[in-house]
Amino acid sequence: MVWLVVSKMVKYTRAAAILLIWTISAVNGFSSRYERREPSLHQLRLSASPAYFSDDDENLNNLRKDVDRIGADMTKAGSEYLTSFLLEEQQDEYEVEMEQKNRIVLEQRRQYDATLSLKETLGITLCQVDAGQELSDYDLNLDSLVFESPPEPISQASSGEALTMNPTQVQKRLDSNFKGIVVSSVVVGGHAWNNGIRPGDVLVSTSATLGDALWPKTSLDGVRSAVASRKVAAGIMTFRFERSIEEVASQYELTLTKPLGLEVQATDDGFVEVTGFTANAQKLARYAINVGDRILAIDSSLGDRMWPVSTVEGVISACTSRLPGQPIRMRFARPYAEKDADTDKIKTIAPIRAASTVTVIDDSPATPVGAPVDKQLLSRCRNALKRYSEGQQGEREKFTDKYAVPGLVADKVLDAVASASSSLDAVTLSMVMNAYLSCRQPENAIRAFEAATGLKADGSSATNIEIIEGKEKGALVPNKAAMNLVTGSSLMRALSMKGDTSSVERVLAALEGRSGVNVNGIESIEWPNTGLYGSVIPDSQCYNIALSAATRGGEEGLGTALALFDTMDEPGRTGLKPAKNLVSFNTMIGALVRMGYSEDAFAMLDRMKRSGVKPDKFTYTSLIRACVHEGDIQELLFDMKEQGVQPDVVMYNAMIRLLCDKYQWFEAKNLVGEMESRGLKPNSKTYGLLMRGLLTAKKPSACLTLFETACTDQRTASLTENVHLYTTAIAASAAIGNHERALDLVSRMNIAGVKPNLKTLTALMGACLSSGKAELASDVFSRIDSPDGYALQMGIRSICAKGDLATASELLAKQLVGNNKMTGKQIMDSFQTLIQTSLELEDFSTARQTFADLLKSGFIPSKALLQRIVHTLDLIPPKRVEGIRDATLKEIPEESFDFLLFIIDSLRTRNLPCDGSFYSTVLHSGARMGGLRRKIASLLAGSRAMTVDANIGDLAGAIVLSEEARGKTVVGWADLVKNYDVYKERLGDDVELPPLAVRISSKEIRQVLAAEQRVSYGKQRRRQLV
């Protein structure tokens, strides 16, 4: 039959082709490997209509009969096959459209697994959704496994509060026939929250009772039974959730020519992803395509149809069939993004990468941009950095704050890459820099940037670039491709942390492609891939970093920050500069408040509102410090209420601190009551501020009462188990001189498991000293391994009070050389303590040596020190009482008077004037003692008069006049009183009295005149006072 029909179709070629297709399909059972759409009856009739054949052929009628007979026997599958053949082009376009649609739908949902510990509080509730999007009347609490009423919808929640789903939004994302389980609420900061679970996520399956298999769940009873049995069998349970993504991938098309210069890699979810560019990549591709974009389709070499691609081989096949220079139209998709519920920021969801290698789409040899990159090595390095930079809050504090582990890991990463003589890519470099910055090591972050990119970190054209060498061999090879917006922003953060504002400005100019910008005499250069057509375009975050750095430069820096702030576009506008955002305004408000420009800070707030930017709690926290009166705080709270900003504990603590600093303790106490009325519980910092405020207001008893009240209250007892609160309470015990209570507080700390710190032990020393327990205070000091300046000051006091002057002198001497921990004020106080204790013990030799060391160290004795010496020696000039003579007063030891003369001589050797009050005390003491000391006091008065009469403005001039102009020997006052019999006959001949410059204030004139009158012999003469 087949061959008969073929022989008749020789003359009628067109009809024979159609008949052959029908016949073969009928004989072979019409292969079903092509699944096409069923054609309409109208289409089938058109395909075999009489109009398709010639009417003038005599055999046409017979051919029609054969066709009708064969067509009657054809099956439905044959009709589909024929119709699909005729409609092939239309069907191909339909397939492309459907595949693209399915890809987008696939991207709109994402599944993830969360492994939770059933021994911890999960903080999650589930609700059931039935057909028709009907929500159940009760929720299942996974902690108690009890059904409870659903909570009210809450869109914002603080840590420890439950964030609930919005039923309307959930119903919009679910299909009308959906039936399953949805997360109804999650406690912010809880175990489930920290594992990424959010309200509105769909529960797909849970772990079986035993093993790792996951079983689907569609009812709350099933989940309840699974969790209950899993708690008994195992301690952990895996939940699989599905999250709807509202923002899908954005697609775009580009027409490129060969060579493309793209590096691509297949992903496990069926996409071809761009992973980088080669040296031959076109500038258009670098500008428009981002690393991570996906190739969806490539146009056909014949025609305009776009063919979908899902493998690297398919992309290569579609591209290599083109001639050089022939355009290739490609369709790309930018990876979708979703909003992070933790930070309320948009984050990119990384695709699931396959274990395949990167393929270069380029006819020319693949040459990486910049330098060789060992991708496998960098992958291991990134995993190590990620392991020690992420995790729970406690782990971050342990690794980062205490041991700086991320910085150590970054060192190892750089050494490993340098030893391999390889380069860093942008992702790894940014992770290395962030690891250093998390440990507050900006110098290392800057060094890593220079060595990795070969660019000077200050934005200049200098060539002295840092080089990182491996410990055994090799060195880090610079790769300019490692410089992008992320690493540039990290560099600006490091420079800002270091305080190098000028370099921050130059780096910002370099990122914008502006060369020749002069900042402090150094010009910036243009960095690669920057400028108007570059791929590196500074955003608002870069400008905010520059603003923050500039505001640390005092008045000049604030002016620079304001000028830079004004160059930014207004919110909502799109221009050449990034727009101001919430962080920009908050940075400027905080800077204005710190510099004391309170009115300008509130004006910036008004400008912020008019720009359409809504203030947040950080805005108002900064403005709290600009408040002067309590009424300002209340007005600020009212404004917050209008803006819909709810004050939190941090904000109330800032207000309480402000009031305590202004000694408005009762107002601060009332603010705590208002805080509790709003449902906010005071934390340990709140009590610490109140206690510190009472202690500053010299109310230590009230401070201790507040602490003990908090300890006895079950609601606040846990808050008091804090080293800062205990330290403040011990300081209050020291203020009332109760060392026993201080020791009891330390004992209670140890029982509660609170370890005393350096400040705690220092406060304990103060309590022991205030109670006169010098031995106990000295013992506490000996237990401090690494004391700071204040602890050393208290330690010297305790050792002096114990009477061990040698040890105290040795300890103080160590602080005068090398890297001393004590400030100048603390050293001066320690000198004063040592001198006072020496005089109390009548150890004048140690007192002289200590005073000489004080002058030798460059310190100038203060008036308070001289007065302390006078009080210690009990030499306060008595008031003249009629009928009471000097002989009836307490006798002054000769050593005391001679020590005063030693001080006058020591001041003269440093060309320092004597204080008027101290000078009058010396004269009064000499008059009381009589004899030789009164004579010396009289000579002191005469020397001062001679110095004034000579109109010598400084002591150095007086010495020159005495020694050089007169050619005489000048003796010291201490030497004169000791060897007066030797010098008395030679005075005025070859021996000259030392000059004496005295600084006399207007309040001391009468006191000085009265003292000089007491030591004058014979006829008094009028003396000039200056």
Three-class secondary structure of residue 10 per DSSP: coil
Q: Over the stretch 715-767, which tens digit does the pLDDT of each residue have?
A: 888 888 888 999 999 999 999 988 899 999 999 988 888 889 999 999 999 99
With b meaning 16 or more CB within 10 Å and e meaning fewer, what string describes 589-614?
A: bbbbbeeebbebbbebbeebeebebe
DSSP state of 397: I
The pLDDT value given to residue 210: 79
What is the spatial distance between Cα 933 and Cα 894, in angstroms, rounded to a whole number? 8
The pLDDT value given to residue 40: 34
Segment 879-883 mean pLDDT: 51
Q: Where are the beta strands (DSSP E) in 440-526?
A: 518-519, 522-523
pLDDT band at 233 (very low <50, low <70, confident <90, very high): confident
Instruction: Please choose, from the candidates 348, 322, 325, 432, the residue with its C-alpha nearest in 3D space to the C-alpha of residue 385.
Output: 432
pTM to 2 decimals?
0.51
The pLDDT value given to residue 449: 94
Cβ pair 467, 475 in contact under 8 A: yes
Where is pLDDT greater, at 91 or 289?
289
Q: Which of 455-464, 641-650, 803-812 has the lowest mean pLDDT?
A: 641-650
Share of the chain above pLDDT 70, in %: 76
Instruction: Please choose, from the candidates 396, 384, 549, 377, the residue with its C-alpha nearest in 3D space to the C-alpha of residue 459.
Output: 549
pLDDT band at 429 (very low <50, low <70, confident <90, very high): very high
The pLDDT value given to residue 629: 63
Query: With the C-alpha atoms ordered 66, 71, 77, 81, is the resulting torsion angle positive or negative?
Result: positive
Query: Over 60: is that where the pLDDT of 347 sits?
Result: no
Where is pLDDT greater, at 818 or 6?
818
Three-class secondary structure of residue 979 per DSSP: coil
Segment 543-571 mean pLDDT: 87
Q: Where are the beta strands (DSSP E) in 236-342?
A: 236-244, 250-257, 262-266, 272-277, 294-299, 306-308, 327-334, 337-340
Query: Over 90: is that where the pLDDT of 443 sits?
Result: yes
- Cα-Cα-Cα-Cα torsion 176, 177, 180, 184, nearest 10 degrees, comes to 10
What is the spatial distance between Cα 494 and Cα 498, in angstroms, rounded to a whole number? 6
pLDDT band at 878 (very low <50, low <70, confident <90, very high): low
Query: Over 60: is that where the pLDDT of 36 sits?
Result: no
Segment 61-72 mean pLDDT: 53
Instruction: Please choose, from the candidates 272, 292, 252, 238, the residue with its C-alpha nearest in 3D space to the C-alpha of residue 122.
Output: 238
For 446, the token pair is 């800057």
Instruction: Please choose, from the candidates 259, 336, 255, 328, the residue with its C-alpha nearest in 3D space to the C-alpha of residue 293.
Output: 336
Q: Over the stretch 393-424, which tens digit does the pLDDT of each residue have?
A: 444 454 444 567 888 889 999 999 999 889 99
Q: Which of 372-381, 432-441, 515-524, 760-769 has the lowest mean pLDDT?
A: 372-381
Instruction: Please choose, from the candidates 750, 700, 770, the residue with its C-alpha nearest in 3D space to the C-alpha of residue 729.
Output: 700
The kind and range of the H/E element at 186 are strand 180-187
The pLDDT value given to residue 181: 92
For 53, the token pair is 């054949």
Q: Which of 600-609, 617-626, 877-886 has the lowest mean pLDDT?
A: 877-886
Q: Which of 618-622, 779-783, 876-880 has the lowest mean pLDDT?
A: 876-880
Instruction: Please choose, from the candidates 624, 697, 689, the residue with its C-alpha nearest in 3D space to the C-alpha of residue 663.
Output: 697
The pLDDT value given to residue 447: 93
Tell me, letter by letter, the H, E, C secondary structure of 576-587: CCCECCHHHHHH
Segment 260-269 mean pLDDT: 79
Q: Over the stretch 797-818, which tens digit does the pLDDT of each residue have?
A: 999 998 899 999 988 888 887 6
Place of tokens 């690891």: 435
Write down the mean pLDDT value for the chain: 77
Looking at residue 7, its amino acid is: S
Where is pLDDT greater, at 313 or 67?
313
DSSP secondary structure letters along 637-662: HHHHHHHTPPP-HHHHHHHHHHHHHT
Q: Which of 119-123, 240-244, 545-549, 559-563 has the lowest mean pLDDT?
A: 240-244
Q: Which phi and psi (to 5°) does residue 752 adopt?
A: -80, -5
pLDDT band at 450 (very low <50, low <70, confident <90, very high): very high
Share of the chain above pLDDT 90, in %: 12
Q: Which of 279-293, 396-410, 429-443, 539-553 has the lowest mean pLDDT?
A: 396-410
The pLDDT value given to residue 245: 58
pLDDT band at 572 (very low <50, low <70, confident <90, very high): confident
Query: Which stretches within 857-994 are classed as H helix?
Result: 863-872, 894-909, 916-929, 931-949, 955-960, 973-978, 980-983
Three-class secondary structure of residue 921 per DSSP: helix
The pLDDT value given to residue 834: 92
Most trustworthy range by pLDDT among 46-50, 530-534, 992-996: 992-996
Three-class secondary structure of residue 773 per DSSP: coil
Q: Which of 44-58, 252-266, 477-491, 779-793 has the lowest mean pLDDT?
A: 44-58
Where is pLDDT greater, at 704 or 78?
704
Query: Over 60: is that where the pLDDT of 434 sits?
Result: yes
Residue 32: half-sphere exposure toward Cβ, Cα within 13 Å: 4
Share of the chain residues as helix, strand and coil, in percent rounded to the nearest 5: 50, 10, 35
The pLDDT value given to residue 212: 80
Cα Dmax for the chain: 169
Q: Which of 249-263, 327-341, 750-764, 999-1013 has the lowest mean pLDDT?
A: 327-341
Q: Over the stretch 810-846, which tens digit does the pLDDT of each residue have?
A: 888 888 876 678 888 889 999 999 999 999 998 999 9
Place of tokens 């002057």: 805
The pLDDT value given to residue 456: 92
The packing angle between helices 426-438 and 405-419, to 10°, is 150
Segment 187-215 mean pLDDT: 86
The CA–CA distances, whole Å, from 437 to 476, 485, 1010 equal 20, 17, 67
